[in-house]
Amino acid sequence: MKPDPGLVLRRTVVNRIAIGLFLGATLLAVAVLVLILGKLVFAGVSAFSIAIFTQGTPAPGGTGGLLNAIIGSAAMTLVAILLATPIAVLAGTYLAEYGRRSQLGNVVRFLNDTLLSAPSIIIGLFVYGVMVVPAGHFSGWAGAAALALIALPVIVRTTEDMLRLIPDSLREAAVALGCPYWRMIVSIAWRAARSGILTGILLAVARISGETAPLLFTALNNQFISVDMNAPTASLPVVIFQFAMSPYRDWQNLAWAGALLITFSVLLLNIVARTIVSRGSR
Amino acid sequence: MFTGADSEMDQKTAGPSGDLLPATAGRGVRVTRGAAVEPYFIWLTRICAVVVMVLLAGIFMVLLIDSLPALRKFGFGFFASTAWNPVKEQFGALAPVCGTLISSAIAMLIGVPLALGIALFLNELCPFKLRATLTVTIELLAAIPSIIYGMWGLFVLAPFMSTHVQPLLIAWLGPLPLVGALFQGPPFGIGMLTAGLILGVMILPFIASISRQVFATTPPVLREAAYGVGANTWEVSLHVLIPYARTGLLGGIMLGLGRALGETMAVTFVIGNAHRISASLLSPGTTISATLANEFTEAVGDVYLSSLLALGLILFMITFAVLFLARYMLGRIDQKVAA
């Protein structure tokens, strides 16, 4: 049987086109990343100055920096991580150790995965309802709580995944020596998964330090340099939002500087976390 | 990495072999004391796990209770009305809900084919040395905060669309029957199409990452058999990889859809925030999340605020339905891989 030359040609052409499209899609995605980072560096570096770190946000037309926003962001992120980490690590421990096959474990795992990709603006509305309305005012604490709720599922998921990577023979060895199970978790499982859990926390920091939507209804904004978490608190993303949407040139420039700062911190955190994971798996 | 655990175990193993008798009185007390902590520790971890569960129920309850005033006042009309008049206190959810669905639909149309292309490229064609670097590069797209996408959309993409892309769309597609209605009006730059485009780029890395993992679970035998009988890359992708992975792919796509529906900041920058439904994709519109981000802090009066919270409730129900479905599909894939 002789091959039909028309069919061969058609198949080859279709295949070439498909390969071209696959390659094109990949190049397009890389190009978008390069375009976004390029614009950020181009617009951000020209607006960058030492005043960013030493002065508070200015009035339109004035000079200033982003110090109040940086302090607010750092404080809220820190409180959020301190709130979320203990609960999340213990919940992740339950999923990986005691609740591996239990009904409760399965339900919690499913809900946690759902929460992981839940819209952050919904979390903001929730915290508005339970913290801002009863208190009668916006506050840094409410902002930190909203960020904690976003960090929580990230840390739960990585803690569970990392604990599951530990071979069961290690657990059995400890328990066979008469070590109570909880003691095994604390001194062996957690210790062996330490770098993995740390990675989860780093990823959570990266995730929440760029979050804007939930802070709009909880921490709001504050144009003064302040460390009072009981008052409305400025944050980098919210200031960027406000300044970028404003008609003033100098505000827009500050927004680009802030955007550059935030993006590169987040990308750096991601790369560090990835490095820890890849070193641990070797 | 395991040195800490090892040294701990060394101490313990040294004990019994030295004593000859494992169960001395002192050791027995210590073990009992340790064992007594066990139930408390179990309960501590269990309570923390339950917190995660209660959280989701709590979110639903708070949104429901806070949106009751609006739902009571407008009844089911709230879902069917396009009114949005803060002065007369008349509110309806139809325009933002439609905007959310339309912008997400555009995002899926753009994001899904690109993501599948990327996943197939990385799995089937990419030189091995480049694969890890390219994978990380694509995944870094997911790490960029959404507000950055928003700024880029407003200052770079919208002007580009307004001067280069949209005039062409209006000139070429505008006069066509049926499809033409989608491309009418002045080229503002901001609007549904630009918002959908940005959303498409944002969900792309999520769908690509999951698709790549799902494709990787295809048994090598299937691919090798197909290549062995002479199928080319395209035919293997279309007839072997995609059919085998379809449940997982659908799960990944639904996960991307969940992201697109709830995405706030990127959309808020480029959608134009106009409370109306327009046939043209080029005209400004609004979505649920953009309405919330723009108006929440300026909302005066209980009815206004409650209407916004009711919008939040609708968004919650739409996204969680989609996400539940996504997780259900992906969960079945996990079991398949494990088995």
pLDDT tens digits, one per residue of A237-262: 999 999 999 999 889 999 999 999 99
Instruction: Choose, out of A98, A171, A212, A236, the residue to mutate when testing the contact with B (most B CBs < 10 Å).
Output: A212
How high is the pLDDT of residue A48?
86
CA distances from B289 to A237, A243, B7, B103, B166 (A): 17, 20, 53, 12, 25
B89 touching A (Cβ < 8 Å)? no
Query: If you measure CA to CA, which chain B residue comes closest to A282?
Result: B1
CA-to-CA distance for A160 and A122, rounded, in angstroms?
A: 25
Residue B190 pLDDT exceeds 70: yes
Predicted local distance difference test score (pLDDT) of residue A214: 92
Two tokens at B282?
């080029």
- Mind telling me how many Å the CA of B312 is from chain A's nearest CA? 6
* Residue B11 in this model has a pLDDT that exceeds 80: no
Using the predicted structure, report yes or no on whether residue A232 has a pLDDT greater than 70: yes
The pLDDT-based confidence of A65 (bands split at 50, 70, 90) is confident
Bridge partners of B84?
B91
Is the ipTM reported for this complex over the cut 0.95? Answer: no
Mean pLDDT of the region A223-231: 85
Smallest Cα–Cα separation from B327: which of B265, B257, B251?
A: B251
Is the pLDDT score of A12 beyond 70?
yes
pLDDT-based confidence at residue B83 (cuts at 50, 70, 90): confident
Amino acid B6: pLDDT: 36
Cβ neighbours of residue A215 under 8 Å, at least 6 residues apart? A76, A124, A143, A146, A147, A235, A237, A238
Q: What is the dihedral of CA A172, A177, A181, A186, to 10 degrees?
A: -100
Q: What is the DSSP string of A8-20?
A: HHHHHHHHHHHHH
Given an 8 Å threshold on Cβ–Cβ distance, is B34 in contact with A180?
Answer: yes
| Chain A CB contacts of B124 below 8 Å | 22
Average pLDDT over residues A115-139: 91
Record the pTM: 0.88
Task: Using the predicted structure, report yes or no on whether residue B22 has a pLDDT greater than 80.
Answer: no
Choose the closest CB to A263 out of B50, B138, B148. B148
> What is the per-residue pLDDT for B332?
56
Cβ neighbours, 10 Å, residue B230: 9
Give which of A113, A114, A180 is closest to B12, Cα–Cα: A180
Distances (CA, A) of A193 to A89, A110, A203, A206: 11, 22, 15, 20
Q: For A48-64, what is each residue's pLDDT tens digit?
A: 888 889 888 888 877 88
- Give the CA distances from residue A169 to residues A172, A175, A178, B64, B309, in Å, rounded to whole numbers and listed in that order: 5, 10, 14, 48, 51
Q: Looking at the complex, does the CB of residue B147 fall below 8 Å from at least one CB of chain A?
A: yes
Buried/exposed code over B135-156 (b: 16+ C-beta within 10 A; e: otherwise): bebbbbbebbbbbbbbbbbbbe
Query: In sequence order, what are the residues at sequence separation of 6 or more whose Cβ sits closer than 8 angstroms to the Cβ of residue A38?
Result: none
Cβ of A87 and B48 within 8 Å?
A: yes
* Mean pLDDT within B270-275: 88
Closest CA to A174 of B309, B12, B140, B115: B12
Taking CB atoms and an 8 Å limit, are A119 and B261 in contact across chains? yes
Q: What is the mean pLDDT of residues B182-197?
A: 89
- Least confident range of A111-125, B75-89, B225-239: B75-89
Indicate the helix (H) or strand (E) that contains B85.
Answer: strand B84-85
Asked if B262 and A95 come within 8 Å (Cβ–Cβ), the reply is: no
* CB contact at 8 A, B283 and B185: yes
pLDDT band for A1, please (50, 70, 90 cuts): low
SS3 B84: strand
Q: How much of chain A, in percent, has pLDDT values that exceed 90?
A: 70
Beta-carbon contacts of A90 under 8 Å, excluding residues fewer than 6 positions away, are: B44, B45, B48, B49
Are B53 and A206 an interchain contact pair (Cβ–Cβ within 8 Å)? Answer: no
| CA distance to A153, B145, B243, per residue, from B231 (Å) | 43, 42, 15
At B334, the pLDDT band (50, 70, 90 cuts) reads low
pLDDT of residue A215: 93
Find chain B residues with C-beta within 8 A of A191's C-beta.
Answer: 4-5
Picking from B269, B296, B200, the residue whose alpha carbon sits closest to that of residue A25 is B200
For A187-207, letters b (16+ CB in 10 Å) and e give: bbbbbbbeebbbbbbbbbbbb
Tell me which chain A residues have a C-beta less than 8 angstroms from the C-beta of B155: 39, 43, 244, 252
Query: A280 pLDDT band (50/70/90 cuts)?
Result: low
pLDDT higher than threshold 50 for residue B192:
yes
